[in-house]
Amino acid sequence: MSRHRVAVTGIGMVNPLGVGTETVWSRLLAGTSGVGPIRGFDADRLPVRIAAEVTEFDPTAWLSRKEAGRLDRFCHFAVAAAELAVERAGLDGIDREGAATVIGSAIGGAGTMLTGVLKDATAPRLVSPFFVPSSIINMGAGTVAQRFGFRGPGVAPVTACASSADAIGQAYRLVRDGYASAALAGGSEACLISPLIAGFANMRALSRRNDEPQRASRPFTADRDGFVMGEGATMLLLETVESAEQRGAHIYAELCGYGQTSDAYHVTAPDPSGQGAARAMLAALREAGLKPGEIDHINAHGTSTPFSDAAETKAIRSAFGRHSENLAVSSTKSMTGHLLGASGATETAFCALAIDRGVIPPTINQDAADPECDLDYVPNTARPYDVRAAISNSFAFGGQNVALALQRFDRE
């Protein structure tokens, strides 16, 4: 079976920094934080009252009022991000009969689920007939497939916070190996509801810096105290290089490697040695045919939790050895918060843009050094850099580790 090179030709984003790739990218490079007090519901009774919410979004800009009313917020985000991904690249010349839709989510229709449960507790007859189809996780992929008439493989990976990274990895292989003519791949999450905030807070996983929300997400610092929950969606349009060149589509980057491992260690905590994460990065490099020394940039999982950040630092040092000193490692979660199942796609898109634009985004709130986190985290200010190749890391509860490798497109 012949294998194809896979190009990223479309990027669409909806997240706490804004709607649209250029808006998000400009605010990311400026070091803007998308974290603030929770507005979507009354959080006064919760120990954590901050989140990274999408505030500049109207679903009726993308869907009819009737459609929007029948779909969960995570589907609203998915459709908008998919529309934005194809806006510039277009779909002319793409075989939609063979095109795949691969969209992951960790939680799916959380808001719809909560509403349905509350109604059922008082009067089951009030539960919406759209409760089930609106809340199931594969409805993001299903809705986007219907929107664009993509009749190839339809997949909805669920691997917690690695879901959309797995989605992109699986879509990459479908296109590479000829099982799909193209793919819309990514993830969507709309998980900012009281029970989820309370649950993560009671696990001591969330930052409690309620009085300084923009400083709450502070990956790799000595005084980090947890992640900040966020929401949003990112979609990538993937197609073969041959297709992209024939269509005259802009190629942001070439997707070239996918590594996936399991820690087999703990239900929530990462393996403190970082070996599972290191193996995922090395697997992505092997598939890409890249050497560790050819990677310039890593978009880290970098959640701002004490154990995860230290373990990821060890993993990078294990995988890259002496070259670790030369890597520019960003955690863009310092600005977007943690988008759970949508985070991997968002950070892969940031890697593609860093390669395309020659700028590495910063890790903000870098003002308290941690001796266990001793890499170059691109502190506080974006850095112009000619990025040849990059890796995006995504790790998840249950011990799932995913690394995606991207490189600058070269016709040769």
Based on the residue annotation, tell me whether 161 is a catalytic residue of this protein. yes
Phi, psi of 93, rounded to the nearest 5 degrees? 90, -5
Based on the residue annotation, tell me whether 338 is a catalytic residue of this protein. yes
The answer to whether the beta carbons of residues 409 and 7 sit under 8 Å apart is: yes
Which residue among 191, 301, 351, 373 is the active-site one? Answer: 301
Phi, psi of 140, rounded to the nearest 5 degrees? -60, -50
The answer to whether the beta carbons of residues 245 and 393 sit under 8 Å apart is: no
The answer to whether the beta carbons of residues 169 and 402 sit under 8 Å apart is: yes
Cβ within 8 Å of residue 348, ≥6 positions away: 164, 165, 168, 234, 236, 299, 392, 404, 406
Q: Which of 227, 262, 239, 412 is nearest to 332 (CA)?
A: 227
Phi, psi of 335, rounded to the nearest 5 degrees? -110, -40
How many angstroms separate the CA atoms of 392 and 412, rounded? 24
DSSP structure class, residue 258: E
Which residue among 161, 191, 351, 373 is the active-site one? Answer: 161
Q: Identify residue 298 by its one-letter amino acid code.
A: I
Based on the residue annotation, tell me whether 301 is a catalytic residue of this protein. yes
Which residue among 76, 297, 338, 351 is the active-site one? Answer: 338
Catalytic residues: 161, 301, 338
